[in-house]
Amino acid sequence: MKNNDLSYFMDKERVFREIWSTINVKGKVIVDFGIGESTEFLIKLGAKVIGVDNDIGKIVKYSRLNIPLIKCDILEFPFKTRVADVSIFSFILHEINPKHHVNAIRIARKISFEIVVIEPSPKGCKAYAEYAKLWREAMRNVGLFEEYRPLKYWTKLIEKGGFEILKVKVVKWKAKIPNNVLEEIFTRDAEEWRRLGVREGYIRRLLQLLEYAKEKGMKWSNIYVIVGKR
């Protein structure tokens, strides 16, 4: 592994630790909306996780975790009374139609005492800004969403949903993404876009952006972590 690769993956580990140091999840029942790396990390931290996702592929993939998994849309969560200590939305709300955001937060209020929202900043280096913009345009092309928002949007949303803001943290990336990792990410993106039916013009722009990002460098944007309590 090259030094810049090592630096990036060490930074990724640090970023995860900083995110989850914001709240103590050990021994708590967590509803994790959107199964993924966050789910695995929560289990390592000693949380009792219930995973929720409407993607059957993810349900199958993460069945190896041996935890309760529910396949449903967030807005159709089957329980309406408290079933958990904390509801977590990790990099998932930006994939939902913004007009439904407050309903998602209100569902979290019904089922848990606390909420954690983790979202990327819409601002970053030039390559990242173009990447985020292209993702937004591509998803809109197929009737989906990739809508990043400023910190103030998320804090106001959580308050509107009936929570009091307890903590706000901004976690900053230090390392740039190595070129070989960029290639993996952009190739995976292109495959997903084709699966979703995104027009080839967007995919060509994505691959052109890859060359720019490799030449100029690209770093992920800051990450917002907001904790609320009923």
Residue 52 lies in a domain: yes
Residue 79: its pLDDT value, please? 85
Per-residue pLDDT of the chain (230 residues; tens, 9 = 90+): 565 677 999 999 999 999 999 999 999 999 999 999 889 999 999 999 999 999 999 999 999 999 999 999 999 999 888 999 999 999 999 999 999 999 999 999 999 999 999 999 999 999 999 999 999 999 999 999 999 999 999 999 999 999 999 999 999 999 999 999 999 999 999 999 999 999 999 999 999 999 999 999 999 999 999 999 99
Q: pTM for this structure?
A: 0.94
Q: Residue 78 maps to which CATH number?
A: 3.40.50.150
Domain count, the chain: 1
| Domain assignment of residue 152, given as a range | 3-123+145-178+221-229
Residue 88 covered by a domain: yes
Q: Is residue 129 one of the residues assigned to a domain?
A: no
**Residue 98: inside a domain:** yes
For residue 32, being part of any structural domain is answered with yes
User: Distance between CA atoms of 23 and 167, rounded to whole angstroms?
Assistant: 9
Q: Which residues pair with 49 in a beta bridge?
A: 30
**Residue 100 domain-assigned?**
yes
113 located within any domain: yes
In a domain, 187, yes or no: no
